[in-house]
Structure 1
Amino acid sequence: MSSKLTEFSWPVRVYYEDTDSGGVVYYANYLKFMERARTELLRSIGYQQDQLQQELGIIFAVHSANIQYKKPARFNDELNVVTSISALGKASIRFKQSIYLESTHHDDDLTRSISGLLSEAEIKIACLNAKKFTTQSIPASIIKKINQEFHCGS
């Protein structure tokens, strides 16, 4: 039996469309990178968002987000989004997510001052009825699978 994961990592490359006029990643795009990592975490344990909606009649929606920006990322940087589950509730999941600079293709003073942690956030998602958009319990099968695969909480 394999041990439970404490975190899930997902690589992201910064594209030109992700940057603002200052040449750094636009602040809202960090949330998009985190969304992709949460989606891939679910996919890694056998759940795809469209499948959840069609077969179980549920969707997950962001309830709240608390994000801190530490350092900028730039075009063509390679990032790593690290996700852990800090709490698994009856109708919600709380994630801790961090974005790290893995590799850069710039050679200047700014790049030399940037390494490591770029951004970190706590994101709470709620389970909703896909038709009524009302809160509902996360299906027991999903709770069970998450508990089998991940260490939830600190």
Structure 2
Amino acid sequence: MAPEIRTEGFSWPTRVYWEDTDAGGVVYHAQYLAFLERARTEWLRAHGYGQELLRIEHDLVFAVRAMTLDFRLPARLDDALQVGVVLRECRRASLVIAQTIERDGVRLLDAEVRVAALAAGDFKPKAIPPTLYPMLKQLQSTPAERRHDESNVE
């Protein structure tokens, strides 16, 4: 599936498969983390920075440091989902990313993900490389965009 790139963020399509669900056909809560991770990975890749490239050429990995999830409605077997990614804040060695999961325009989940930039060799904090940092700063949402996003939260 091809990503949908929008000016206000990035959206990655995914579908709910049998292995994503519990016995009742509802997405198991931990599986949402995998959906969010894949969308963040594809967001980076869409901007020219695949995870392997970052690791090999820049000795950089991003690791989740903290995450807040708000489960609104369940996703179910065979649902077509859109997983959104918006960079809220870019610091020298960390990012704050807002993510959503929607089905047919209905919000199922909100997430705030804090990731740390680490050296791939020793997993110690590391500054985001100068080749990547300016691009990320450009992608950072503006305060007006954040207010708009927050006003759309029910």
Q: For the superposition of Structure 1 and Structure 2, which TM-score range results when normalised by the shorter chain? A: 0.7 to 0.9
Largest Rg, 1 or 2:
1
Counterparts of 2:140 and 2:7, CA distance in 1? 6
- Following superposition, the deviation at residue 153 of structure 1 comes to 4.4
Amino acid at match of 2:107: L
Give the structure 1 partner of residue 110 of structure 2.
120
Mapped contact 2:13–2:83 kept (Cα < 8 A): yes
Pairing 1:144–2:134 present: yes
- Following superposition, the deviation at residue 146 of structure 1 comes to 2.0
Count, aligned residues? 138
Q: CA RMSD in A?
A: 1.4
Cα deviation 1:88-121 (Å, max 9, x = unaligned): 011001000010012xxxxxxxxxxxx7110110
Q: What are the residue-to-residue correspondences of 1:77-116 with 2, within 5 Å? A: 77-102=79-104, 116=106
Give the structure 2 partner of residue 44 of structure 1.
46
Structure 2 residues not aligned, in runs of 5+: 1-5, 144-154
Kindly, what percent of the aligned residue pairs are identical? 41
- Following superposition, the deviation at residue 20 of structure 1 comes to 0.9
Residue of structure 1 aligned with 2:25, choices 23, 35, 40: 23
Counterparts of 1:61 and 1:26, CA distance in 2? 22
Structure 1 residues not aligned, in runs of 5+: 103-114
Counterparts of 1:15 and 1:153, CA distance in 2? 36
TM-score, structure 1 length as denominator?
Answer: 0.85
Amino acid at match of 1:48: G
Mapped contact 1:88–1:152 kept (Cα < 8 A): no
TM-score, structure 2 length as denominator?
Answer: 0.85
Give the structure 2 partner of residue 71 of structure 1.
73
Give the structure 2 partner of residue 106 of structure 1.
none
Runs (4+) off by over 3 Å: none
Mapped contact 2:89–2:140 kept (Cα < 8 A): no
Mapped contact 2:90–2:140 kept (Cα < 8 A): no
Mapped contact 1:98–1:119 kept (Cα < 8 A): yes
- Tell me which of the two structures has the higher relative contact order, counting C-alpha pairs closer than 8 angstroms and 6 or more residues apart: 1
Pairing 1:12–2:3 present: no
